[in-house]
Amino acid sequence: MASGRGSNFQAIIESVNRGEAPDVEIAQLVVNKSNAHAIKIAEKYNIKCSYIGSSEISRENFDKKVIEIMEESKVEIIVLAGFMRILSPLFIKKYKNRILNIHPSLLPSFPGASAHKDALRYGAKISGCTVHLVDENVDSGPIIMQASVEIVENETEESLSEKILFHEHKLLPKALQLICSNKVSLQGRQVTINPD
């Protein structure tokens, strides 16, 4: 699921195409913005894409429509790849521990929509990205993987975002492959990656 640029979506596609994620099969993309560039990426790679406008519809009704689409496409795992809308408890419950999100900070620091700006304002010396399972709260579910980057002098939101994005594109497909190959186990909020 995506709302914008779709670079993480593209990173997953490319990783699958390179044979690095043999247990991942991309069933379909769902977008909530008609101008999302992710739609163009889906077209380019011939991936089914559904648009559901989210501005004039309740959260629950939006989520019900998404569930219909996911069921029709037999989706087992959902990836929020820059999907900028909070999902309802109904949706989270239905796909419990089967929704992945990528967030551009080292959670639990700097959750929310302005992670880069918040890290810079705070004066953090390190930031990074986090792939986590989605629970009922924002950016708070069990952490699967993280990568860190250094924040240097004169760092800007753009330069920080670019550095972090490089790691996002590696981490998200890797975490997805681990989930799809049943290598991730969960006890409370402790995630263990099982070896081969």
The binding site for ligand GRF (CB under 6 A) comprises 2, 4-8, 81-82, 102-104, 165, 168
Asked whether the CA dihedral 71, 17, 20, 12 is positive or negative, the reply is negative
- Dihedral (Cα; 166, 168, 173, 175), 10-degree rounding: 140
Task: Give the single-character DSSP code of 20.
Answer: S
Smallest distance from the beta carbon of 187 to ligand GRF, in angstroms? 26
Q: Taking CA 31 as the corner, what is the angle to CA 25 and CA 33, rounded to the nearest 5 degrees?
A: 160
Closest CB to ligand GRF among 81 and 133? 81
CA 173 to chain centre: 10
Q: Across the chain, how many H-helices and E-strands are there?
A: 6, 8
Provide, rounded to whole angstroms, the least separation between the CB of residue 31 and ligand GRF. 10
Is residue 132 among the annotated active site residues? no
Is the Cβ of residue 6 or residue 141 nearer to ligand GRF in the bound state?
6
Active-site entry in 103, 116, 132, 167: 103
Rounded least distance, CB 10 to ligand GRF, Å:
8
Which backbone phi and psi does 144 adopt, to 5 degrees? -95, -50
Query: Least distance from C-beta 134 to ligand GRF, angstroms?
Result: 12
Which position's Cβ is nearest ligand GRF? Answer: 82
Q: Which residue in 21, 4, 17 sits closest to 172, CA to CA? A: 21
Shorter beta-carbon distance to ligand GRF: residue 64 or 174: 174
- The residue (of 64 and 85) whose beta carbon lies closer to ligand GRF is 85
Catalytic positions are: 103
